[in-house]
Every structure is written in structure tokens, then in C-alpha cells.
Amino acid sequence: MKEQFIVEYKEVAGLFELHNMFLNTMQDVVKNNGNPVELADMAFALREMSKLFKDMEKDTRILGELAEKMACLKWMVAGGDEDNIKTDYCTATPDMKHIAAIPKREKDPEAFAALMKHFNIPESAFPGEDEDIVRPHWPGVVSALSKAMQEGKPLPKGIDPTKTYPHYRLTIRKRKDIDS
């Protein structure tokens, strides 16, 4: 593993420990404080801290997802026979789903109707406006597309093949602690 990532992991783990200690200590300080001004400031400070952590989590997750996607792409291009990527720290198994843009009824009613027909949905179930009983559920469509791809079946009618793309994820199993 790259040294920067080991160092950063240790930094974050250290901060996590320190912050947990701070929160535990402050439980009593908050509970036993009768000053509304001080309590409002504490609430404000904790809310701001929470925002920082959320931002940090989001940015960390996004970079992690990019690393997952890149790992899958490079693993595919490497063209090996192995089903997974083994490192000293983890075993990562690439997983791919097929994502597609669902045609919008307003912009492309023909494609939308073709898609619904493909899934055997009668027209009476989607007359439009507030009378629709059935609408495409995106995760369900993604799952159906992925199944079709696995079985070598063509894309459902109405799905534009040029507006499809694979979604790459890694299932990661830990083999060794980063700070071990």
C-alpha cells in the first residue's frame, strides 16, 4: 500500500480516537450545564464539527468509489484469469452492473412505451399524469439490465445503447489491518 495512505489512515484513526474521547468527556458537561448561552454555543460547535465530518466522509467516499472504478477498469485491461485482486491488505472482487438512462415519457414517448411493453406492462397501467399506477423503478431496471447482460440478451427496446454504461464496484474483504 502507498505510504501516504497508511500515514493518512493512521492520522484519521488517531483523530477518531481523540474525538471520541472528547465526546465521551463532554457528555456530562452538556448534561449538567444550566447555561442556555453556553449550551447554544456547544450545539453550534458540534453542528459545525458534524458538517466537517460529513464533508470529509463524502469526499473520502467519492475518492474511494473512483479508486474502485479505476481498479475494476485496470483489472479488466490487465486481462488476467483471476476473479479477484489480491493484495497484502485485502481481497477485492470486481463487480459490474449495467446502468442505462431510462427514456423520459415527455421527451421520448415511443421509447418509453417500448420499454414498458418490454416488461409486459399494459398501457392502461401508465396513462400519464397522476393516473399512473406503474412507473419504472430505476434500481429495478438496472437489475433487469444487468441480468440481461449476464445472459447475453439484447437491451430492452426503448433503451438507447449509446446511453448505457457499466457501473464498477469492488467487494473488499480485509486480510490485514492497515496499521498492523
As a three-state string, the secondary structure of 1-30 is CCHHHHHHHHHHHHHHHHHHHHHHHHHHHH
Interaction of residue 96 with other proteins, rule CB under 8 A: yes
Interacting residue with other proteins among 113, 155, 172, 178 (CB under 8 A): 155
Helices 3-31 and 36-78 cross at an angle (nearest 10°) of: 160
Interaction of residue 153 with other proteins, rule CB under 8 A: yes
Q: Footprint of other proteins on residues 63-82 (CB under 8 A)?
A: 73-74, 76-79
Q: Tell me the window of 32-40, 84-92, 127-135, 159-167 that interacts with other proteins (CB under 8 A).
A: 159-167
CA distance 166 to 19: 39
Least CB distance from residue 127 to other proteins, whole Å?
A: 28
Contact 172, 87 (CB under 8 A): no
Least CB distance from residue 100 to other proteins, whole Å?
A: 12
As a three-state string, the secondary structure of 96-107 is EEEEECCCCCCC
Binding site for other proteins (CB under 8 A): 73-74, 76-79, 94, 96, 98, 146, 148-155, 161-162, 164-166, 168
